[in-house]
Copies of this chain bind each other. A is one copy, B any other.
Amino acid sequence: MKKLINKPEDVVADALTGVAAACPELRVDHQHRVIYRAEPKATGKVALVSGGGSGHEPMHGGFVGTGMLDAACCGEVFTSPTPDQMVEATTVVDRGAGVLHVVKNYTGDVMNFEMAGELAADSGVRVEAVVTDDDVAVEDSTWTAGRRGVGVTVLLEKIVGAAAEEGRDLDDVVALARRINAQGRSMGMALTSCTVPSAGKPTFDLPEDQMEMGVGIHGEPGRRRVPLAGAAEIAEQLVDPILADLDFQGGPSIVMLSGLGGTPLIELYLLYGEVSMLLEMAGVQVARTLVGNYITSLDMAGASVTVLKADDELLRLWDAPVKTAGLRWGL
């Protein structure tokens, strides 16, 4: 295993030390492994809290900041944060207007956020949750009942973050979050496995002439293992299942192509060229695009595509200023 780390068991703690050093606009609670905005809180704003296993950076810690999340809870690599981390984050960021938990659909995350929501409610915080489940690859998986929550989580955190920043109330923000999840679909693929530091070896074997279509962000199996193909063919295998699952015609869409961590930008842009052509041919009107590393899987080589059916309101919120380590414009 070749990684820029010290001891495998210290990876998350050490990475948080780096985040704290690199990002003065963030405050890191090392004890609870929670990342907060450093700037003073506005009262009356609905707070957004997310979190999950580490290894998907910049998600979620890189999305804490003005216009996006108020706090992110960092679990061990590919392991849900604990309810007490979530309760801590929730009670700290509550400004009296309630807290939205943004939860990717994985059994551990859902269970722990549910428990944390109940505990925080007991101490007087109004908490609602939205569970994202946008991955069209598989129904149920080794990590989930139902579909997995993946790329739409990034778009949701951006758009709903902007809505919260505008001062909308919790009911509004929850309804918006659910609408976004319902209107977004994703599909990913891997060229290689990732290597979890504590395991020290690749999570799965993928022969030199094969790729995994529909892979999950923890390296969990996808739809099928197929012969290695060119970018045009890969784009088709990513876009077709998305378009087969939801009708994206008749309005603008926001498209994200995210690398999985080990794939360089030149390949991501190249693949996006193919994705873009397929979407255009299918009559999807791409209004906004994001290409880069946004939801990753450690050092896995590969990419995922997310398409979100938008409208004028969602585009306006998308364009609103955001200032985070992982996504930043307009401030």
Contact = CB atoms under 8 A, between A and B. Distances in A.
A215 to B, nearest CB: 13
A175 interface: no
Interface in A96-138: none
Contacts of A231: 4-6, 14
B22 A276 contact: yes
Interface stretch (A55-63, A166-174, A243-251, A309-317): A55-63
A91 interface: no
B57 A266 contact: yes
B55 A18 contact: no
A198 interface: no
Interface in A259-298: 261-274, 276-277, 289, 291, 293, 296, 298
Instruction: Assign chain A's interface to a size class.
Output: 35 or more
Interface stretch (A144-152, A216-224, A323-331): A323-331
17 contacts: A2-B228, A4-B191, A4-B263, A7-B230, A11-B266, A11-B270, A14-B274, A15-B270, A18-B270, A21-B272, A55-B264, A57-B264, A264-B296, A264-B299, A265-B293, A323-B329, A328-B329
Given A57-B265, A264-B299, 15 more contacts: A2-B228, A3-B191, A4-B234, A4-B302, A6-B230, A14-B270, A15-B269, A18-B272, A22-B257, A22-B272, A262-B262, A264-B296, A291-B325, A293-B293, A329-B331
